[in-house]
Amino acid sequence: MKADIKIKVCMGTGGVAAGGADVIRAFKNKLKTAGIKASVERHCSLHKVGCRGLCAKDVLVDVIIDGNKTTYQDIKPDMVSGIVKEHIIEGNPIIDWTVGDEYHNFHRKQIKVVLSDCGDIDPEDISAYIAVGGYEATKKVLTSMTPEETIEVIKKSGLRGRGGAGFPTGLKWELGRKAQSEQKYIICNADEGDPGAFMDRSVVEGNPHAVIEGMIIGAYSISADRGYVYIRAEYPLAVERLRRALDQARKNKFLGKNILGTGFDFDIKIKLGAGAFVCGEETALIASIEGQRGMPRAKPPYPVQKGLWGNPTVINNVETLANIPYIIRKGAEWFSSFGTEKSKGTKVFALTGKVKNTGLIEVPMGISLREIIYDIGGGIEGDRAFKAVQTGGPSGGCIPAELIDIKVDFESLAQVGSIVGSGGMVVLDETDCMVNIAKFFLEFTQSESCGKCTPCRVGTKRLLEILERITSGDGKEDDIELLEALSNDIKATSLCGLGQTAPNPVLSTIKYFRHEYDAHIKDKKCPAKVCKHLLAYSIIDEFCKGCGACKRVCPAGAITGEKKKAHTIDPDLCIKCGACFEICKFNAVGKG
């Protein structure tokens, strides 16, 4: 047996959560016991790789024999022996376990730049990155380009910040270059905190060297000799892989003194964030690195004028930086061939919520929402009706079903009251209550407000309280107007991006789903049947078999009835926990 066998197991966060480590262990054991170790010892290699995107089908495993790749989905450790026996030993792939159309559709409309190597290379091995062209961009820039030329390439590529605001990266670097100071810094913002977002996490976990390379090139362009990666401590795998990658980069002379013999010095420190959402705001992030409480300050001066310890500082997002080496390697024209006129390149999104294929996707800017949800996402779970999609997390807004053909780029989303943001995309269907969604995001922003400025600290609390009373049936006639007025005032008066965008989910849900607010307030009904206080449970006599299951499960003793006769629920005793609804096998419990 002389075959060259490679096995790649997804060990991104999704993969790890689905049991990737056990799958790897099972492969090691089975290969050993099958005696393959002896015969193919030098040829058979087992890799962990970063996120493959389709987290819904994790653990994903590639088995590559002599270049022929077979991808398996939903692999559990007990399936490994079958793969080893039938596929690796006997050469017959187990078709039933391989990925289906969904996997291929999921990838078909994606264009991968940032994620091109993610999920393919071992993120813990620098040689794997170098083998696919890694650090070539660093060599090229450091040995044959001036900082000005480098900045020119980035400007020409049209790359805009992927952290949310979309500021042109080349322009930011140019400002950093022009800032006069002996000490300058470059910071990678990996403090990804939006609920439902895991783009930056996956990039750092799957391809940390691309981020490091982006930072080296950025540092060279602005003449910084020190860099920080501000990353959440809640991302232990990302931190570990980044730490390992930094060590390897130092050993290979890509970091440290006199990089590649060019006389350029640069090194990177990791600073762990303590899990404050507001620390993703750049001035709060700087305060946090300085050891202060993470609270934003007024701009100007901007960090590029006066940043970390008062020195000019360029802050770029993970995805922005991970784009850099590919742009340098393949050229500005190549990069700007993707996307729209004003939004160039691709964008990574974390597709979550009620779609069939949840996961990490990278699409060209300007792709339609429909393509993302139906082609890549595979449509709505259970083929229910699509209702809206929340982009940009708690700072963004919802886009209703009627706007599904909208292009996903910075300008188009802003026009309809949402944002691209950092790239969270939560898909909602007919079973989601939009008032409840607004409340969910407000709960988040309220508890994450730093407390510095009044409108954000108290204003979001009052917004949340109004939403709470609407969802619990105590909404008042003029509450919608009050929400709108307060939202607009909070947006206008808040200090930082957190407060300025926190009311967006409220405003956009009112804009597109005002009727749902009205139903809650005037009719005391929740159309999606989500808001507990607005629901009434009752037993439908003709379906009830009198089995007594609901009576036994009811914690409030609200259900009475004789055996084999229709039961009844006493609405005064009912606490609306929904236990009877869950347990009834005959659909005899109705809610509404």
The site for other proteins (CB under 8 A) is made up of: 276, 278, 293, 295, 297-298, 300, 446-455, 457-462, 465, 482, 485-486, 489, 492-495, 500
Q: Is 355 helix (H, G, I), strand (E, B) or coil?
A: strand
Q: Is 204 helix (H, G, I), strand (E, B) or coil?
A: helix
Please identify, using beta-carbon distances, which residue of 450 and 550 lies nearer to other proteins. Answer: 450
Spatial contact of 162 and 317, defined as CB atoms under 8 Å apart: yes
Based on C-alpha coordinates, what's the Rg of the chain?
27
Instruction: Give the contacts of 291 (CB within 8 A, at least 6 positions apart).
Output: none
CB of 301 to other proteins, least distance (A): 8
CB of 113 to other proteins, least distance (A): 32
CB of 285 to other proteins, least distance (A): 15
Q: Write out the DSSP string of 146-188.
A: -HHHHHHHHHHHT-B-TTTT--BHHHHHHHHHHS--S--EEEE
CB of 409 to other proteins, least distance (A): 21
> How far is Cα 185 from Cα 307, in angstroms, rounded to an integer?
8
Q: Write out the DSSP string of 555-568.
A: TT--EE--TTS--E
Please identify, using beta-carbon distances, which residue of 329 and 457 lies nearer to other proteins. Answer: 457
Q: Is 270 helix (H, G, I), strand (E, B) or coil?
A: strand
Please identify, using beta-carbon distances, which residue of 14 and 497 lies nearer to other proteins. Answer: 497
Q: Write out the DSSP string of 415-437.
A: HTT---TTSEEEEEETTS-HHHH
Output DSSP code: residue 440. Answer: H
Please identify, using beta-carbon distances, which residue of 492 and 573 lies nearer to other proteins. Answer: 492
Please identify, using beta-carbon distances, which residue of 113 and 495 lies nearer to other proteins. Answer: 495
CB of 230 to other proteins, least distance (A): 18
Please identify, using beta-carbon distances, which residue of 120 and 281 lies nearer to other proteins. Answer: 281
Q: Give the strand order in the sheet containing 313-317.
A: 256-259, 264-273, 226-232, 185-190, 313-317
> How far is Cα 482 from Cα 352, in angstroms, rounded to an integer?
31
Please identify, using beta-carbon distances, which residue of 492 and 536 lies nearer to other proteins. Answer: 492
CB of 494 to other proteins, least distance (A): 7
Please identify, using beta-carbon distances, which residue of 283 and 343 lies nearer to other proteins. Answer: 283
Spatial contact of 501 and 456, defined as CB atoms under 8 Å apart: no
β-pairing verdict for 397-400 and 313-317 = unpaired
Please identify, using beta-carbon distances, which residue of 479 and 518 lies nearer to other proteins. Answer: 479
CB of 493 to other proteins, least distance (A): 5
Please identify, using beta-carbon distances, which residue of 453 and 579 lies nearer to other proteins. Answer: 453
**What tokens were used for 298?**
């007024």
CB of 458 to other proteins, least distance (A): 4
Please identify, using beta-carbon distances, which residue of 435 and 495 lies nearer to other proteins. Answer: 495
Spatial contact of 398 and 505, defined as CB atoms under 8 Å apart: yes
Please identify, using beta-carbon distances, which residue of 23 and 510 lies nearer to other proteins. Answer: 510
> How far is Cα 508 from Cα 484, in angstroms, rounded to an integer?
10
Q: Write out the DSSP string of 367-403.
A: -BHHIIIIIIS-SBGGG--EEEEEESGGGSEEEEGGG
CB of 552 to other proteins, least distance (A): 38
- Amino acid type, 87: H
CB of 232 to other proteins, least distance (A): 15
CB of 324 to other proteins, least distance (A): 30
CB of 468 to other proteins, least distance (A): 9
Partners of 188 in the β-ladder:
229, 316
Instruction: Give the contacts of 340 (CB within 8 A, at least 6 positions apart).
Output: 365, 366, 407, 409, 411
Exposed/middle/buried for residue 143 (C-beta within 10 Å: 0-12, 13-18, 19+): exposed
